[in-house]
């Protein structure tokens, strides 16, 4: 890459350190050898080499330690490069990808654990691994779980409800109340259109949707359609007007209440916020409250995803699948998105399964979250291109009046609603500091809560599991570092904190409806509906 330079002084220092460490490593290895040819176990300190087969085999242990030394040195070289910050980040990412792919654990000829299993099973593990490799080649992605165990509507996405409205972009699901009374102001969930909504409704014991219903709310959820060629030309404006705004209109008609509580997750929160800004420009304020989970409004810091986005890349997308593409609008294939996100954490989401599935012949265990992760969705090209250019690349959403959406100049500060912001501390897709930045853009009363863990595991953290913790701080005047320094940690799930906050904005309790929908919007089919079952 142009403009990058590795200073000679840094290179000389790294070479010297490498030779010293390599010599020390060789001497340590020789020192562990016993007269009978055995060796004292090595301490490798990496979970890829945690099996005793690595520690007790002198050759394997030495190979693993040399690999780890090489990996550290290569990353130090990448860190020492001088040049443009984004170019340096891309070099670091590329080097890390190569390092992870080159691990000796990924190769049968170098993996003593896989070799032992092959001997113990008389080659059955290798045969099984080859069968699983062929299966994954046919399905087009690495199996992260036993997908045959799960079926949408049968053992995931099982909260009882009915589809009460649909158009060519989404189905609106209304859930059956679990309490004799419900709060008068209904609740709308807007999930990301980049994934399927049932991440919020996996199993009964970890479903945020079911939890919200059980807290006495009348809950509606947008189930986005998995786009095909018939809707490849849909734009961001379509997702706002025909998606979120239409869902709000239908909810108002069904419930008879003008005010709704609304929750957006990830890009669903971005779409929801722009929809409410469009309505504010039209003189409407339908939100009684707004909840934004791991949502970017200010795209100044987009974490690792920033590596993939620049003017040339966005322009290429616009020329191939955008609104003005020579061959017409196209789709961004869901498998491409899934592969990109998997390689953001390759050791956890790629190589771990290569070793287990193919080298050891082990079938991955059933896991609902990973089944959802593999159930990818396409994206309409024009919508995706608009999103890339106007948010990730040019960051216009934070500038009042810089964007015209659905014919209106949008200004997020005109949304008149209390807002609950949630960020995950280890989120690599929406850095928690960036989620916090949204607090400076909206003008209503605000609460920011920081949860432990990552983008998904931090959000899906039911109280009964009594796992993790969350942080709160009422002071939102300073930057995110000041907020964190003054925050208080609480054990358990943030769900209870959010539920207490939501009740303050949900209105009085009224008798729960006996049937979903109304005379105008009658039930179409049981939840979870057809749209969520469509495959990419």
Q: Which residues are catalytic?
A: 266
- For the chain, the distance separating the N- and C-terminal CA atoms, rounded to the nearest angstrom, is 35
Separation of alpha carbons 343 and 349, rounded Å:
7
Question: What does the alpha-carbon distance between residue 20 and residue 335 come to, in Å, rounded to a whole number?
Answer: 45
Instruction: Let me know: does 213 contact 159? Beta carbons within 8 Å.
Output: yes
**What's the 3-state SS for 328-371?**
CCCEECHHHHHHHHHCCCHHHHHHHHHHHHHHCCCCCCCCHHHH
Cα 208 to chain center, whole Å?
Answer: 16
Residue 221: in which H helix or E strand, if any?
A: strand 219-224
- Which candidate, 528, 197, 193, 144, places its Cα nearest to that of 378? 193
> Could you count the other beta carbons within 10 Å of the beta carbon of residue 180?
9
> Rounded to an integer, what distance in angstroms lies between the CA atom of residue 528 and that of residue 200?
12
Question: What is the rounded distance in angstroms from the CA atom of residue 259 to the CA atom of residue 495?
Answer: 22
Q: Is 278 helix (H, G, I), strand (E, B) or coil?
A: helix
In this structure, what is the dihedral angle of CA atoms 434, 436, 437, 438, given to the nearest 10 degrees?
110
Interacting residues of 248 by C-beta distance below 8 A, sequence separation 6+: 188, 260, 262, 275, 279, 286
Task: Please tell me the distance from the alpha carbon of residue 157 to that of residue 199, in angstroms, as a whole number.
Answer: 8
What sign has the CA pseudo-torsion 293, 294, 299, 301?
positive
Residue 67 Cα to chain centre, angstroms: 30
Q: How far apart are CA 526 and CA 536, in angstroms?
A: 22
How far, in Å, CA of 208 to CA of 222, rounded? 14
Q: Which residues pair with 332 in a beta bridge?
A: 379
Is the Cβ–Cβ distance between 497 and 472 less than 8 Å? yes
Q: How far is CA 495 from CA 155, 177, 423, in A?
A: 23, 19, 13
Helices and strands, counts by H and E, the chain: 19, 17
Q: What is the 3-state secondary structure (H, E, C) of 170-208?
A: EEEEEECCCCCEEECCCEEEECCCCCCHHHHCCCHHHCH
């Amino acid at each position: 890459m142009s403009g990058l330079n590795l200073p000679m002084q840094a290179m000389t220092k790294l070479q010297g350190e490498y030779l010293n460490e390599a010599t020390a490593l060789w001497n340590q290895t020789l020192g562990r050898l016993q007269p009978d040819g055995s060796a004292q176990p090595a301490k490798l300190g990496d979970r890829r080499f945690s099996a005793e087969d690595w520690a007790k085999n002198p050759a394997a242990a030495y190979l693993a330690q040399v690999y780890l030394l090489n990996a550290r040195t290569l990353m130090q070289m990448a860190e020492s490069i001088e040049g443009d910050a984004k170019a340096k980040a891309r070099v670091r990412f590329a080097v890390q990808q190569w390092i992870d792919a080159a691990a000796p654990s990924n190769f049968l000829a170098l993996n003593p654990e896989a070799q032992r299993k092959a001997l113990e099973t008389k080659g059955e593990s290798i045969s099984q691994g080859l069968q699983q490799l062929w299966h994954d080649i046919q399905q087009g992605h690495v199996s992260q779980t036993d997908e045959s165990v799960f079926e949408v509507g049968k053992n995931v996405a099982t909260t009882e409800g009915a589809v009460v409205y649909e158009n060519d972009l989404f189905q609106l699901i209304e859930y059956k109340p679990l309490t004799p009374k419900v709060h008068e102001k209904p609740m709308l969930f807007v999930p990301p259109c980049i994934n399927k909504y049932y991440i919020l409704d996996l199993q009964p014991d970890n479903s945020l949707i079911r939890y919200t219903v059980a807290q006495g709310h009348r809950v509606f959820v947008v189930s986005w359609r998995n786009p095909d060629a018939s809707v490849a030309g849909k734009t961001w404006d379509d997702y706002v007007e025909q998606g979120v705004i239409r869902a709000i209109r239908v909810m108002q008609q069904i419930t008879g209440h003008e005010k709704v509580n609304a929750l957006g997750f990830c890009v669903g929160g971005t779409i929801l916020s722009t929809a409410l800004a469009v309505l504010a420009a039209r003189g409407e304020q339908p939100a009684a409250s707004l909840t934004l989970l791991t949502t970017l409004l200010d795209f100044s810091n987009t974490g690792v995803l920033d590596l993939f986005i620049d003017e040339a890349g966005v322009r290429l997308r616009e020329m191939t699948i955008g609104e003005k593409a020579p061959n017409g609008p196209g789709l961004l294939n869901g498998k491409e998105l899934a592969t990109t996100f998997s390689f953001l954490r390759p050791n956890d989401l790629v190589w771990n399964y290569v070793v287990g599935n193919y080298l050891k012949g082990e079938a991955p265990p059933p896991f609902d979250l990973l089944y959802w992760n593999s159930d990818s969705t396409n994206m309409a090209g024009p919508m995706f291109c608009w999103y890339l250019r106007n948010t990730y690349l040019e960051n216009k959403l934070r500038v009042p009046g810089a964007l015209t959406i659905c014919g209106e100049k949008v200004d997020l500060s005109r949304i008149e609603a209390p807002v609950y912001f949630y960020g995950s501390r280890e989120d690599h897709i929406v850095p928690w500091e960036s989620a916090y930045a949204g607090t400076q853009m909206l003008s209503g009363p605000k609460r920011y809560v920081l949860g432990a863990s990552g983008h998904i595991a931090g959000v899906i953290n039911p109280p009964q599991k009594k796992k993790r913790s969350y942080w709160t701080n009422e002071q939102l005047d300073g930057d995110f570092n000041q907020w964190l320094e003054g925050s208080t940690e609480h054990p358990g799930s943030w769900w209870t904190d959010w539920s207490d906050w939501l009740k303050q904005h949900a209105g009085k309790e009224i008798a729960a409806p006996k049937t979903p929908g109304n005379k105008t919007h009658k039930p179409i089919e049981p939840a979870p509906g057809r749209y969520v079952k469509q495959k990419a």
